């Protein structure tokens, strides 16, 4: 039984080694497909086994403990070396500090016994599904994408072996992160993801990508250090490093200091303000990397940690501040997204914004808030994976990632345009689930008025930038030549993810009852009488009267009705746009001497009002202040 969990962690890592060593395209494809099948079935099998606390046989446990402790130091040494190679003293310093703290801590307390090495509950299941379904699909998409990508780069020798090796390593580390019970192990996998993201961002090895990767490494090292400090405090305050014991700990007030440090670490990993810059910088990496970082790995590790720890600190002053900080990220990232014309940056800010909302929801003391937080992790994961892959395909198709160049994309690349539309609509409109989580957020945040005001404003900003984006995808363009050819390896993963996007939303209630409610019941046992309540009582029938199934039903009916009505309204005549009858076609008007003057219209980006730089500065100052307040609150 334990083997399945070991498999989820170590098999991708072993596969990574083989992919790295054998730089052969067909071999790589075979391994990626094979691993996808294995990971998907293994994760589903492990889920079928239910909640578990697992212990290893004594010798295996012993071996693994030593292996991971050793690997941890090795990893920090690598980060230190990267720091020196990049001539970035801060990174090296942070690595040394982590090393020293860790070493002194482990030396002083001796061997930390954690009996149950794996702690697998329904939150882990949600994460496992996300990592092991979305991750492989992205990897498959990358097979076709990277071929194309390297063609553009004119490399002498393919570096794809490194690329796919890191992706496999990444997936293994994420699996480890969400099922480990020993927080030291969580830290180890956490650090692997930091290293992997550095390697993936710097993959193209040009000046810009190395610069951005360095920033990512630096900011995540701050998080790493914070994590180490959190662990040490955690041990001295509670006497344990086992997550399951920490969560069920009765006295939450003494754990405030370690929690605050761990939350700070989560902030860096989830690119919360003021640490958002690394995720934006990560945009220089090949698109599958962005898709992976934004949907199923890396940034989700941060919000996972907050949600995992939320039973400990929920309903304290700390949680109130974290809710304010999270919703501050929600509103400010949504505001910043309005200024963007670069599609990837819009998506990145939208990710940051949604992660802020997840963190806010995780720290609001309400059943539905927790449900919504867990749901949003999944909903955002699938939608964002789809959107990034689509934007990547568009970029390869039209050679630009600027939204302004996407006029008429619905003619040029119909499949991808439709899927992009689906993705962005799922982030904004009913009956898709993301909207429901925003709605829940407003309804439950009424007890925290500051967070509530932030969510109100953020929700208005969200409408603006998504509508602009969707409007552009649907708009008319002069060039109507189709350039898209159906490619199996590229389009099948896209379609699979879009089916997931629709499915998760249709079966939102069932998903909540199957995965989220049991997680809530087991993790929040301590919290206001949850343990005594029957699990049936916690089930949701609908969300405040909103049942997605009914709504989807109405929608289907509307579509049928609409088609019937369309027969009646069927256009008799097509006309050019109105230009006082002075236009030859839809894209120009007759000027003097009947010369055709083309016109174009660009979206508003509010440049005359303010700009991204100013807003970023203000937002960064405010968010640093919030973090200072967060630490101020816990000190007595």
Partner 1 sequence: MKEIWITLATVIIAPLVGGVITGIDRKITARMQNRFGPPILQPFYDLFKLFSKETIVVSNTQILYAFLFLVFNIVAVVMFVLKMDLLLILFILAFATTALILGAMATNSPYSRIGAHRELISVLAYEPVLIAMIVAIYFVTGSFNIEDILKHNSFLILDLPFIFIAFSYVLTIKLRKSPFDLSTSHHGHQELVKGITTEFAGPVLGLIELGHWYELVLLLLFVWLFFAKNIFVAIAAILICYFIEIVIDNISARLTWKIMLRLTWSVAFGFALVNLIWVYIKYRLL
Binding residues vs partner 1 (CB under 8 A): 407, 428-430, 435, 439, 442-443, 446-447, 449, 452-453, 456-457, 459-461, 463-464, 467-468, 470-472, 474-478, 544-546, 558, 562, 565-566, 569-579, 586-587, 599, 601, 603-604, 608-609
Q: Determine the distance from the C-alpha atom of residue 611 to the mean position of all C-alpha atoms in its chain, rounded to a whole number.
A: 26
**Greatest pairwise CA separation for the chain in angstroms:** 91
DSSP 409-455: HHHHSHHHHHHHHHHHHHHHSTTSHHHHHHHHHHHHGGGSHHHHHHH
Shortest distance, position 333 Cβ to partner 1, whole Å: 16
Of the pair 256, 440, the CB lying nearest partner 1 is at 440
Q: Determine the distance from the C-alpha atom of residue 490 to the mean position of all C-alpha atoms in its chain, rounded to a whole number.
A: 21
Shortest distance, position 334 Cβ to partner 1, whole Å: 11
Shortest distance, position 210 Cβ to partner 1, whole Å: 38
Q: Which helix (H) or strand (E) holds 589?
A: strand 588-590
> Which ranges of 130-159 would DSSP assign to H, the alpha helix?
135-153
Shortest distance, position 307 Cβ to partner 1, whole Å: 24
For residues 589 and 366, give the distance between their C-alpha atoms in angstroms, rounded to a whole number. Answer: 58
Shortest distance, position 612 Cβ to partner 1, whole Å: 17
Of the pair 145, 461, the CB lying nearest partner 1 is at 461
Of the pair 8, 394, the CB lying nearest partner 1 is at 394
3-class DSSP state of 176:
helix
Radius of gyration (Cα) for the chain, nearest Å? 25
Of the pair 67, 442, the CB lying nearest partner 1 is at 442
Of the pair 565, 617, the CB lying nearest partner 1 is at 565
For residues 67 and 64, give the distance between their C-alpha atoms in angstroms, rounded to a whole number. Answer: 5
Of the pair 49, 610, the CB lying nearest partner 1 is at 610
For residue 431, whether the previous peptide bond is cis, meaning omega lies within 30 degrees of 0, is: yes
Shortest distance, position 604 Cβ to partner 1, whole Å: 5
Q: How far is CA 206 from CA 209, 210, 211, 384, in A?
A: 5, 6, 9, 26
Which of 462, 245, 454, 256 shows the shortest CA–CA distance to 351?
462
Of the pair 108, 570, the CB lying nearest partner 1 is at 570
Shortest distance, position 485 Cβ to partner 1, whole Å: 24
**Is 141 exposed, middle or buried (CB count within 10 Å of its CB: 0-12, 13-18, 19+)?**
buried
Shortest distance, position 248 Cβ to partner 1, whole Å: 31
Of the pair 67, 555, the CB lying nearest partner 1 is at 555
């Amino acid at each position: 039984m334990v083997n399945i969990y070991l498999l989820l962690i170590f098999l991708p890592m072993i596969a990574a080694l083989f992919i790295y060593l054998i730089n052969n395209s067909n071999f790589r494809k075979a391994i990626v497909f094979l691993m996808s099948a294995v990971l998907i079935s293994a994760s589903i099998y492990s889920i079928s086994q239910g909640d578990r606390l697992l212990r290893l046989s004594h010798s295996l446990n012993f071996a693994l403990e030593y292996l991971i402790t050793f690997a941890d130091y090795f990893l920090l040494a690598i980060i230190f070396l990267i720091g020196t190679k990049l001539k970035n003293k801060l990174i090296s310093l942070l690595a040394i500090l982590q090393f020293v703290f860790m070493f002194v801590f482990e030396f002083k307390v001796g061997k930390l016994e954690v009996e149950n090495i794996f702690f697998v509950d329904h939150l882990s299941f949600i994460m496992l599904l996300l990592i092991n379904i979305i991750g492989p699909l992205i990897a498959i998409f990358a097979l076709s994408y990277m071929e194309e990508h390297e063609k553009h780069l004119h490399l002498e020798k393919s570096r794809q072996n490194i690329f796919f090796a890191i992706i496999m390593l990444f997936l293994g580390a994420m699996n480890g992160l969400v099922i480990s019970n020993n927080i030291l192990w969580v830290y180890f996998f956490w650090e692997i993801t930091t290293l992997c993201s550095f390697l993936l961002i710097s993959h193209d090895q040009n000046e810009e990508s190395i610069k951005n990767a360095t920033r990512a490494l630096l900011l995540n090292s701050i998080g790493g250090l914070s994590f180490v400090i959190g662990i040490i405090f955690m041990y001295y305050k509670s006497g344990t490093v086992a997550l399951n014991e920490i969560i069920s700990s009765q006295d939450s007030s003494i754990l405030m200091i370690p929690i605050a440090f761990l939350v700070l670490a989560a902030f860096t990993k989830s690119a919360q303000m003021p640490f958002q810059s690394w995720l934006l910088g990560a945009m220089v990496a090949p698109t599958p990397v962005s898709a992976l970082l934004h949907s199923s790995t890396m940034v989700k590790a941060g919000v996972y940690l907050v949600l995992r720890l939320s039973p400990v600190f929920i309903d304290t002053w700390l949680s109130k501040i974290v809710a304010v900080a999270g919703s501050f990220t929600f509103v400010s990232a949504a505001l910043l997204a309005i200024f963007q014309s670069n599609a990837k940056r819009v998506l990145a800010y939208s990710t940051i914004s949604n992660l802020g909302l997840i963190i806010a929801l995780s720290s609001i003391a309400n059943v539905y808030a927790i449900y919504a937080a867990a749901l949003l992790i999944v909903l955002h994961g699938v939608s964002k994976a789809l959107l990034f892959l689509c934007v990547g395909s568009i970029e390869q198709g039209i050679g630009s990632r600027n939204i302004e160049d996407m006029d008429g994309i619905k003619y040029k690349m119909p499949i991808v345009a439709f899927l992009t539309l689906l993705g962005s609509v799922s982030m904004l409109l009913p009956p898709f689930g993301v909207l429901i989580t925003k709605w829940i957020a407003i309804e439950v945040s009424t007890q925290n008025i500051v967070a509530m005001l932030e969510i109100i404003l953020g929700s208005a900003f969200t409408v603006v930038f998504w509508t602009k984006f969707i409007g552009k995808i649907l708009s008319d363009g002069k060039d109507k030549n189709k350039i898209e050819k159906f490619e199996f390896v590229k389009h099948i993963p896209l379609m699979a993810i879009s089916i997931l996007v629709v499915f998760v939303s249709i079966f939102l209630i069932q998903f909540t009852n199957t995965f989220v409610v049991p997680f809530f019941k087991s993790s929040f046992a301590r919290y206001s009488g949850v343990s005594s309540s029957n699990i049936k009582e916690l089930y949701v029938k609908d969300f405040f009267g909103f049942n997605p199934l009914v709504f989807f039903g109405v929608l289907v009916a509307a579509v049928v009705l609409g088609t019937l009505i369309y027969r009646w309204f069927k256009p008799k005549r097509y006309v050019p746009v109105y230009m006082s009858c002075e236009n030859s076609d839809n894209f120009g008007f007759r000027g003097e001497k009947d010369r055709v003057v083309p016109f174009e219209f660009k979206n508003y980006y509010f440049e005359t009002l303010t700009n991204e730089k100013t807003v970023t500065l203000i937002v960064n100052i405010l968010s640093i202040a919030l973090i200072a307040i967060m630490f101020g609150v816990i000190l007595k």
